Structure 1
Amino acid sequence: MAVDVPGLVSVIVFYVCILAIGVWGSRKSKKVEKKCSSSKSEIAIIGGRNINILVGIFTMTATWVGGGYIMGTAESVYSPTQGLVWALGPPAYVLCFFVAGLFFAKPMRSKRYVTMLDPFQNRYGKAFTVTLLLPALVSDILWVACILAALGGTMSIILGLSSTISIIISAAVSIVYTLLGGLYSVAYTDIIQLCFIFFSLWLCVPFMVLSPAVTHSAYEDTLCVYSQFCFTWHEVRNVRCDKCKVVSFSNPVLLVLQALGGLSYQALYQRILSAASSVQAQISCFAAALTVFIMGIPSVVIGVMASAADWNQTAYGLPPPFERGETGKILPLALQHLTPTWVAVLGTGSVAAAVMSSMDSVLLSSASMFTQNIYKTTLRKTASERELQWVIRISVLVVGLAGTGLAFGDDSVFSLWVLSGDLLYCVIFPQLLCVLHFQHANTYGAFFGFVVGLLLRGLSGEPILGIPPVLLYPGWREENNVIRQYFPYRTVAMLFSVVSIPAVSCLLKLIFEHQLIPQSWDFLQVFKKKNEVEEDEAPDPCEEMNQVHNTKF
């Protein structure tokens, strides 16, 4: 396929503009460093807690409206085995932001944490924090791979540009401006990227709806498919009429997975902690719930139109994308064949903007956790601010390269999108819930809950990674020599982890308090310093000001 030179030039101009804004953001960051009493590393991580509410709403929305969100939603809606009820991204993220605003924003922001891992480090210590960083890091790398895979597929179809080159260039641009300015570069580029995504995607909708290939009869058939549902526990199959789809009970389970899994991303708390106050952090969450839903509507419409289209009337021809195994590329295919060329190019730009708006946030979040909670507190306690800034930059580069390498290996954006939140839902969300809302949780319970969640999730298998299940739940079936489980095994792992943490914590507390086992067996020294833990979680503001003063001088 020949390269679309005008389209390629347009995308390059867009990339240059984004890079220029990122450089401007880095200058803004340096100005804040001179005026703000916060350390340079804190300014890079959370903007010195000086991000205004409008910028906060934009950057919070843009982080979630990534390539996985846009292309994954269109893919799931178009797929004949899924359909409109599988457009779980918009309602899941609405739920995610509302829950975050109600139950997580205030306790995190009011205690002036710097990263999501700070409450764990204060209560459980360094060893458990390192343990918890690993699944968070793996999830971030999968998220980077997901959004880069989305961009590579889009550019290869519409612009005729190699997906490898597209992925490398986009990753390089995101890495560079994230290295330069930290959260300020990320936040200000997010504003431009989100505006461009909104304008270009909504512009594509009327052209696609009015496309000659989307016939009236096909559109009615599609509406019938999406409005008549039969429910079964086990599998998707037609049981009421030839045009009827079945909704598995796994739909609400997967929706909960994406919503609660989203609560466990450092990228979310980076924006919450950058707000000037707890109230501002909550308002940002509630506003983002509305904007993220609006941003998902065009992808739903594109998926519906692609399903209703007569592909034989387009240059794509027959068989349709699903039969060719190109469901994961349905958004760029629909843009290319159901809209004019210049509209398709704008659509490509929207995917590029979505990819960079999420990728830069993920890169910075992983780098922040490693620098703040591992390097600064464990590896190099005497590290200077300049050294910490370089650690952030190197961490951004490492995570970016890891995600970029993984992006070449999977064609299904939706599968990577779901998998990125899987570990967080089963392992980290229970920990975060208990450390913030259960005062008696201790290190023993946290370790036990971590092992239980991880073990149950691992034994349940993972078809995407080719891991066969060892633990079979009711309703499992073997399809094409692959065992698939229709029982909500992820939720089982999450719930067992949630219950295990307080149960084991309280049990061991009673055992040690009643001296049923020797105090010397408390090898983690949890009950010897329980009074110190409470003091650590509520730092004295005066003491904090003194620490800042000492750091400055």
Structure 2
Amino acid sequence: MSPVFIGILAYIGVSLFIGLLVSRKVHSESDYLIAGRQLGYLLTTFSIFATWFGAETCVGAAASIYDKGLSGGNADPFGYTLCLLLMALIFAGPMWKRKLTTLADLYKQRYSPSVEKLAALIIAPSSVIWAAAQIRAFGHVLSVSSDLQLETSILIATVIVLVYTVSGGLWADAYTDVIQGFALIFGLGALAVYLSLQEQTPTISQLMSNIWTGSGNAEPESWMATLDGWAVPIFGSIVAQELISRVLAARSATVAKRSAFAATTIYLVIGMIPVYIGLIGVSLVPGIEDSEQVMPQLALTYLPTVLYVLYAGALASAILSTVDSALLAASALIEHNIIYSFRPQMSERSKLLTARGGVLVLGVIAYYLAIYGTTTYEMVEMASGLGSAGIFVITLFALYSQRGGTTAAVAALIAGLGVSVWGSYIQPFDGSYVLALLGAFAVYLMISVREPGRATV
């Protein structure tokens, strides 16, 4: 076995051990899904950061910057940074104070159980697709670092994540996120520092010549496509259950808000490393055909073995911290907002077993999607935009307005989902997500004129 593969296995072993160790804290559904609302500043901050900093941030951002220059950073790191900032400013405090377990609980409080269930059914598939994308990416990391076939590597990746997520839930995720967060910082930091010391690396003044254009390989895009590039990571991701569960797990509203602010800062600072790597990559690896290979190629070419192991661990960290959160988020929505609503007499033990079983079943589904699905990038794009336009609209009205009720919320969800699906898959056109947002807003407002609102709780 290669030193890189051994290093990754050692890192995974530590994560598994800690995940299984903290599983002893889990005694109820609340412990499993939101860590009993007991997370302090360190766990909340790094859980938000590590969950959000996925494979697409490491590899995808460097590739986009390589192709387009700084304009390629509209999603990562700039769009997702704005998403976290808005969470800290607008949503974190009000959501925590409502004592929610999932985002769909908000819709039950503000609208009705039917809106709760419909929203859960819209959000959950996105989380499973996102998990599948990360599992596939981790499979690539393992296969490149060893002699394993991609399919075998994807199976191993799935089993690893399921073991500690099924057992420890959000407690396990939070503790391993701290390890994964520090691994990300040190791994990417080591790569950036080492590359900056190379004689071939361009100076800051030299970088300015292509800072807005990159390699120039990217196809020009319309202004509507550019708007979508900003809207999806900001509005589509701010209502992701993966992010909101971390906010709800904080021990107070103050911890939730301050941790979100801290995570925003860390995300932007560390997110600038792929930006830097993408920019210098234009000079260090010019003419590369697949821009997603920019960061891996630079790491493989310039890093000594020890530092390359650190880099590979950082990439594995980014992936693991995202996939466990996605599976737990989907299971929470299905168990808490769908199954439990039909079986309210379930005991605490039954709810806990159902949630764990949900993670296991959804993990198997994610595995098959990872094997037979499209590319990692395409699955991430699908997960980010699918149905979230309507979710954002009804969340905003639920928190800050008494206008509208069940009919307006259901119509907005259907309108947002319908426009997104039509504009992305049936008859693709630029700006489909922005139009889905506007359509959901318009439908909600029109129906709310004749529908009495329901007071917020």
CA distance in 2, matches of 1:457, 1:285: 29
* Partner residue, 1:251: 226
From 490, 493, 501, the equivalent of 2:433 is: 490
CA distance in 2, matches of 1:20, 1:157: 25
CA distance in 2, matches of 1:265, 1:161: 33
2:49 corresponds to 1:61: yes
* Partner residue, 1:114: 101
2:386 corresponds to 1:427: no
CA RMSD, Structure 1 to Structure 2 (Å)? 2.5
Note the C-alpha offset of 1:420.
1.5
From 262, 274, 282, the equivalent of 2:257 is: 282
Q: Which has the larger displacement, 139-148 or 194-203?
A: 139-148
Note the C-alpha offset of 1:506.
2.0
Matches within 5 A, 1:76-91: 76-79=64-67, 82-87=68-73, 88-91=75-78
Contact 2:387 2:420 in 1 (8 A): no
Q: CA deviation digits over 1:28-48, x for unaligned, max 9?
A: x14xx4xxxxxx111111111
Contact 2:404 2:449 in 1 (8 A): yes
* Partner residue, 1:551: none
Note the C-alpha offset of 1:335.
1.8
AA of the residue aligned to 2:245: Q
Contact 1:303 1:330 in 2 (8 A): yes
Note the C-alpha offset of 1:211.
4.5
Note the C-alpha offset of 1:191.
0.5
Note the C-alpha offset of 1:418.
2.5
SS in 2 for 1:275: coil
* Partner residue, 1:448: 411
Note the C-alpha offset of 1:249.
5.9
Q: CA deviation digits over 1:139-168, x for unaligned, max 9?
A: 112211222232233333344543323322
From 43, 64, 83, the equivalent of 1:96 is: 83
- 5+ residue gaps, structure 1: 34-39, 230-234, 238-245, 312-319, 470-484, 510-529, 539-553
* Partner residue, 2:333: 369
CA distance in 2, matches of 1:402, 1:396: 10
Note the C-alpha offset of 1:404.
2.2
Distance change >3 Å, CA 395–CA 228, structure 1 → 2? closer
* Partner residue, 2:295: 331
* Partner residue, 1:516: none
CA distance in 1, matches of 2:297, 2:441: 43
Distance change >3 Å, CA 161–CA 298, structure 1 → 2? farther
From 447, 450, 456, the equivalent of 1:507 is: 450
Contact 1:75 1:414 in 2 (8 A): no
Distance change >3 Å, CA 117–CA 157, structure 1 → 2? same
Distance change >3 Å, CA 305–CA 167, structure 1 → 2? farther
Matches within 5 A, 1:31-430: 33=27, 40-79=28-67, 82-87=68-73, 88-211=75-198, 214=200, 216=202, 223-227=208-212, 236=219, 250-310=225-285, 320-322=287-289, 326-378=290-342, 380-409=343-372, 412-430=375-393
* Partner residue, 2:2: 5
Note the C-alpha offset of 1:247.
8.7
Distance change >3 Å, CA 308–CA 405, structure 1 → 2? farther
SS in 1 for 2:211: helix
Note the C-alpha offset of 1:123.
3.1
Contact 1:93 1:258 in 2 (8 A): yes
SS in 1 for 2:346: coil
AA of the residue aligned to 1:64: W
CA distance in 2, matches of 1:424, 1:335: 37
How many residues align? The count is 454
Contact 2:124 2:329 in 1 (8 A): no
Note the C-alpha offset of 1:459.
2.4
AA of the residue aligned to 1:328: E
CA distance in 1, matches of 2:321, 2:362: 16
Distance change >3 Å, CA 120–CA 278, structure 1 → 2? same
Note the C-alpha offset of 1:373.
1.0
CA distance in 2, matches of 1:247, 1:304: 23
Q: CA deviation digits over 1:440-466, x for unaligned, max 9?
A: 22011111112222222222233xxxx
Q: Which has the larger displacement, 499-508 or 197-206?
A: 499-508
Q: CA deviation digits over 1:293-325, x for unaligned, max 9?
A: 1221222222223322246xxxxxxxx542xxx
Distance change >3 Å, CA 137–CA 154, structure 1 → 2? same
Q: TM-score, normalised by structure 1?
A: 0.76
Structure of larger gyration radius: 1
AA of the residue aligned to 2:447: V
AA of the residue aligned to 2:355: I
Contact 2:60 2:292 in 1 (8 A): yes
CA distance in 2, matches of 1:59, 1:181: 14
CA distance in 1, matches of 2:206, 2:371: 36
AA of the residue aligned to 1:226: I
Contact 2:108 2:115 in 1 (8 A): yes
CA distance in 2, matches of 1:353, 1:310: 25
* Higher RCO (CA < 8 A, seq sep 6+): 2
Q: CA deviation digits over 1:86-141, x for unaligned, max 9?
A: 12312112211221122211221112111100111223323222221222112112
AA of the residue aligned to 1:501: Y
AA of the residue aligned to 2:31: I
Q: TM-score, normalised by structure 2?
A: 0.92
AA of the residue aligned to 1:13: A
CA distance in 1, matches of 2:285, 2:97: 55
Contact 2:23 2:172 in 1 (8 A): yes
Q: CA deviation digits over 1:229-276, x for unaligned, max 9?
A: 9xxxxx945xxxxxxxx8956334412320111111111111111112
CA distance in 1, matches of 2:341, 2:385: 28
CA distance in 2, matches of 1:408, 1:83: 32
Q: CA deviation digits over 1:416-437, x for unaligned, max 9?
A: 3232211244231112112222
* Partner residue, 1:37: none
- 5+ residue gaps, structure 2: none
Distance change >3 Å, CA 407–CA 265, structure 1 → 2? same
Distance change >3 Å, CA 107–CA 359, structure 1 → 2? same
